[in-house]
Chains A and B, each alone.
Chain A
Amino acid sequence: MNRIGIDIGGTFTDVVLDKSGRIFSKKYLTTPDNPEVGALAGINKLLMNYNLKVENIDTIVHGTTIAANALIERKGAKTALITTEGFRDVLEMRYEKRFDQYDLGIELPRPLVPRELRVCLNERTLITGEILKKPTESQLKKIIKLLIGEKIEAVAIAFLHSYSNPKNEQLVAKYLRQNLPKSVTICISSEISPEAREFERFSTTVANAYVRPLMSNYLNSFHQTLEKKRFKGNFFLMSSSGGLTSLEQAKKVPIRLVESGPAGGIILASKVSKELQEESSIALDIGGTTAKVCYLNQSEPFITRRLEVAHAWKNKSGSGLPLRIPAMDLVEIGAGGGSIAKMDTLGRLAVGPESAASQPGPACYNLGGEKPTVTDANLVIGRISEESFGGGFINLMLSNAKKSIKKEIVKKLHFKSTEWAASGIIEIGEELMANAVRIHGIELGKNIRDCCLIVSGGGGPIHAAGIANKLDIRKIIVPHLAGVGSAVGFLEAPISYEIAQSISKFLGDLKTTEVKKIIKTIKQDIKSILKGASSTEREIQYKIDVELRYEGQGHDISIPIENYLESKKELSELTQKFVVKYQEKFGFLMPGVRIEIVSLIVSGKLTGSIKELVDSIELEAKPQLQKNSPKKTHKNRKIFEIVSGKFISYEVFDRETLQVGVSQSGPCLIHEDQTTTVVPRGWDVSKHIKNHLVLTKI
């Protein structure tokens, strides 16, 4: 069995080959104009190295940021929105509030469909599902004329309350399909996101229509090129929620692929967490511009249905496009290696969210950047060295880092020395990340101290111990192959699909077969979607959650159910579970207030999917079993420690030379091409049988 995972990011394309259980990987530069070209060239090169051809590959799993970039750069299709008369501006009015109370200059994102292409139809469905007005043919004719005249490439149809009755949307979609050229994409909101709250539903539907022509062309072209090379295996796409989806489904709802990159990284963390049997863990990825946090419970990541992409104003939450699709519940913060440190208007030391990115880069890159960054601070205190950064890609200049910190921080904030100022930058940067972990953990009701921290990204291993100390976390894992983590993760993902349906009924008013009927319909939909993804007959494993709340409350509590709520007993059990969870979360109860079902979420995954093969994967680097001490190929490095206010000598080891089962005490540094793991005093490090580094606090 040979498989390939391929992750196309903004800068790099990562290709991972699983050759009968052995893993090989390679990084290539992304070719932004035709990403599939660079990707295929990469695949070919890697295969050639290991005497394989495309026709020998059984499965290819692909994730890409193309959809996300199209949204950020507004490079999608020319899209029209057909909506309920009187509600033309839902997309542009948004929440009608400012996401920043004090910044009077804020801008809101430009809607994906300009007002002139938002067309109204005289139709109306009520919240009960009753149809007040049905669209007429004469209106539809006019719309067809306009859409053709404007050379529209994609149409989103989104009506008020269509989640409670999709008939009007379906009717319009049918008419459009019959009367528009085949090449025009048509999406309806009751299918893309059948949930209440018009802005979010419209936004999701429009975003899907907007990226669909581009994505389906791209995916088709990718697949056809593979077929030309006699690829006969399965071609899967990675979705934002960590499940794999078929080519057909991906072309239909490409918006669900928008966060596939981060999802891959989290799946790797999930795999590692399983291998080490961690009860609960935190996946933390620290890149150049941002850090991302996701919690795992019993190795399963938390999933959400709310996310916001393509922020339009200073990376601020509230300034982007809301999407309601299943996605990993991750929090992103503007703190990474390239985050700029400065004195703010209050005379305080502040880090981020502005980033020096890769151009001009941190001051130490010597590429013209003059502002001090977290990376500069790491260099000044000795955690990274001039020569050993990024596998020799870039030669760092310590003198530049020092100069910038001296000028912007030491002088302005009256620090005693550059080292202290640099430590300050790092402390504040790490505190920002720790705080994001803390807040998200509290939101999810997690006991953070009991979690293990699984880090990835260039900055993860450098800052892990500092962050863990702040959070009282006692165990850190630096996974094997973290550098190409997303693509490795792709190979671990299950084939799955999730559908959420708003229903809004009081528990007391439920008719016996009501829930059953809805779930059965959703299951049927999921079945036909998953069937298309597998050539062999496999069983589908379903999971059903109900979202409940007290009448009138805004926040829902999600509770899994086993069956269809047909008996009084099931209902009272559900009520009991809700009450317990509610009390836990809010500390009080609301006796006498009715409980309302807000929505049903059904997810299905294929059992016996490619995930089964995971266990057979062994790693390229077989752990050596001889009991030699690790090789020291580097001389000791001096690192400034904030606790003592002094430089302390750290031993430096190569990651490859560490041996399984032999524990090494800090202070030391574990060096590898992509990054360095910092093991401070008070921590031990050892290598797991699967090549992961495990840091434990003594």
Chain B
Amino acid sequence: MVKKDLDLINSNIIWNSLISVCEEQANSLLKAAFGPIVREAGDLSAGVFDRNYNMIAQAVTGTPGHVNTMAKSLNEIFSKLDVSSIKDGDVLITNDPWIGAGHLFDFIVVTPVFKNDQLINFFASTCHITDVGGLGWSAEAKSVLEEGTLIPVSFLRRNFQIQEELLSIICTNSRVPKEARGDILSLMSCNDSGVERLNSLLNKFKLANLDSITKFIFKQSKNAVEASIKSLPTGTFLNTLKLDGFDKPIALKAILKIKEKSISVDLSGSSPAINRGINCPLNYTIAYASYGIKAAICPDIPNNAASLAAIQIKAPPGLIVSAESPSPVTARHVVGQALPDLVLGCLSKALPGKILAESAGALWTISISGAGEKRFNSLNVALGGMGARPQSDGLSTTAFPSGVGAVSVEVAEAAAPVIYHKKEFLTNSGGTGKFRGGLGQEIIIGTSTNEPFILSAAAFERTKQGPAGRNGGSRGGKGEVSVSDGTKIKDKGNYLIQKGQTIRLVTPGGGGFGQARLRNKVLRGDDFKNGLTTKY
């Protein structure tokens, strides 16, 4: 029995160490990265896999869209490439939206780990590269082929030699070649640091591989998730959500079934894919739908193959949530990041009074590029409000479900010739309720070039109707986009903005929770005094 107790202690220690190896991998990427959206806003993920391509552990840092897609990526990669051709010193790369994180901007880099000539594990990491050619950040493309350069599963490093030809293809096709090179090499470098740390971990515990630990991790995770699901009422729960769409509304529909030991979500009632770039590949759909469920029912259980396995998401091919190549997918997060609200709506019927209200949802990507002599690209995100929680107000202007924050104004103005004239909470934008929804914000941006510029409206969503409240709470404010010359932004296309004009964005506020008349008087007074609401 002594052996057993020691194993139990060590298994715990190694599990935590593995998560911290990934955390370090992610941090090293955060530090090395060039794109502001990665280094300032945290658009990345990192994880370690077993040799059967199952994710064992991942960094806590990062964003669900990367993290949970990556969990499935290795299977896809090795269905296209014979794993026996991989040697020590090799590194694989791809930005295939149907393998990685759903659009061409996200590259996944995979590094095998060898010990005593045996392939024992893989490290993978993903981050957003600012530009991969094509139409750039835009939902106007009619197919993925117009959206940029697709790198199929390839060797980024072979036998310890960086494949400069491949890098050169990526960089030549990017509007920011140096940044692209830096970010891709940073991905490689962060995996290398993961490999190094894993080796010292194995040596320390005198292990030949992680097999027994992996088994332990998967078993504990499976049991824990199943126990969480067991505590839920079984049954079938429906929800629908209407989005603005590119230029006409789209519907998302979910049938969520809670069974004894698993949860399944069927999205087959959702709208078909369209010929504009807001389609979502199924891998990205699965990532966000399962994120929403997991955060609601078992937030403490680390993400890995076993903890994700109990939640199954499916949709027949060809829908907006399961678009197939060559559907355009650049702004796939418009649909993908709406899915947590969709599935949380189902869960609120299973667990009345326990699920937060709807949130602003998709990150509003602010993509501005010079259309005159001076060429530039500025990428930032505008956040809306989070839905009110059953016990507290929603967080104002805070990313949810995404984990990506905003780039600071001073940094954004350093990176490109843009000028922010305003970035402030928008009064009355949070849905009212016993708990108030988080506030949205008003942002006014121009440039210092005195030349026309292009704004991509690809990700401005929830401009027709704000996020719904829960348990009697009211809707949050809807989004709004306009140009100072009076032009209204009506669809998700690209807009040429004349010189001297500014653009005004209003992000959606979160929905309220519970009835407004039940709101605590002190909170109500504070909101009024602080100008968050104009009605006492």
Q: Spell out A's residues near B (CB within 8 Å).
A: 85-90, 92-93, 95-98, 100-108, 114-116, 126-127, 160-161, 196-199, 344-350, 413, 415-417, 420, 423-424, 427-428, 431-432, 435, 439, 442-443, 470, 504, 550-555, 586-588, 590, 592-593, 642, 645
Contacts and interface: CB of A to CB of B under 8 A. Distances in A.
A196 B299 contact: no
B300 interface: yes
Contacts of A420: 2, 5
Given A96-B405, A116-B531, A127 B414 contact: yes
A47 B188 CA distance: 62
B32 A586 contact: yes
A423 B419 CA distance: 59
Contact of A97 (B32, B188, B392, B404): B404
B16 A550 contact: no
A345 B300 contact: yes
B34 A89 contact: no
A102 B302 CA distance: 9
Nearest to A642: B6
B295 interface: yes
A427 B7 CA distance: 12
B221 A96 contact: no
Contact of A95 (B356, B391, B405): B405
Most buried by A among B9, B162, B302, B419: B9
A102 B2 CA distance: 36
Contact of A160 (B1, B302, B409): B409
B497 interface: no
Contacts of B179: 552
Nearest to A582: B32
A108 B394 CA distance: 11
Interface string B83-119: 0000000000000000000000000000000000000
Nearest to B228: A345
A199 B512 CA distance: 28
Most buried by B among A88, A101, A345, A347: A101
Nearest to B381: A96
B530 A93 contact: no
Interface residues of B, number: 95
Contacts of B8: 349, 413, 415, 424
B522 interface: no
A349 B45 CA distance: 27
B306 to A, nearest CB: 11
Contact of B403 (A101, A554, A587): A101
B300 A416 contact: no
Given A116-B531, A439-B20, A586 B403 contact: no
Interface string B381-411: 0010000010110011111100111101111
B403 A416 contact: no
Given A417-B5, A431-B17, 6 more contacts: A415-B8, A424-B9, A435-B17, A553-B39, A588-B162, A645-B2
Contacts of A413: 8
A586 B350 CA distance: 49
B415 A196 contact: no
Contacts of A427: 9, 13
B412 to A, nearest CB: 10
B448 interface: yes
B131 interface: no
Contacts of A550: 34, 182
B383 A96 contact: yes
B220 A554 contact: no
B483 interface: no
9 contacts: A89-B423, A97-B404, A103-B295, A198-B409, A344-B300, A350-B12, A428-B12, A555-B30, A588-B185
B24 A439 contact: yes
| Chain A, interface SS category | loop
Interface string B175-215: 01011011001101100110001000000100000000000
The 9 closest A-B CB pairs, nearest first, are A97-B405, A554-B39, A86-B422, A115-B530, A102-B299, A555-B31, A420-B5, A96-B406, A645-B2
A96 B398 contact: yes
A104 B530 CA distance: 25
B17 A98 contact: no
B241 interface: no
A197 B12 contact: no
Interface string B331-371: 00000000000000000000000001000000000000000
B295 A102 contact: yes
A345 B224 contact: yes
Nearest to B527: A115
Nearest to B67: A101
Contact of A590 (B12, B31, B36, B182): B182
Nearest to A590: B182
Contacts of A197: 408, 410-411
Nearest to A98: B398
Contacts of B16: 428, 431-432, 435
Contact of A586 (B186, B220, B415): B186
Contacts of B162: 588
A123 to B, nearest CB: 12
Contact of A87 (B4, B423, B531): B423
B423 A86 contact: yes
Given A105-B391, A199-B408, A346-B301, A552 B182 contact: yes
Given A104-B389, A431-B17, A554 B30 contact: yes
Given A127-B410, A586-B186, A86 B34 contact: no
Nearest to B2: A645
B51 to A, nearest CB: 23
B419 A346 contact: no
Interface in B17-72: 17, 20, 23-24, 27, 30-36, 39-42, 60, 62-64
Contact of B60 (A101, A105, A161, A590): A101
Contacts of A432: 16
A92 B439 CA distance: 11
A607 B316 CA distance: 75
A416 B33 CA distance: 48
B260 interface: no
B441 interface: yes
Nearest to B4: A416
A435 B162 CA distance: 32
A348 B178 contact: no
A127 B441 CA distance: 23
B403 A347 contact: no
Contacts of A417: 5
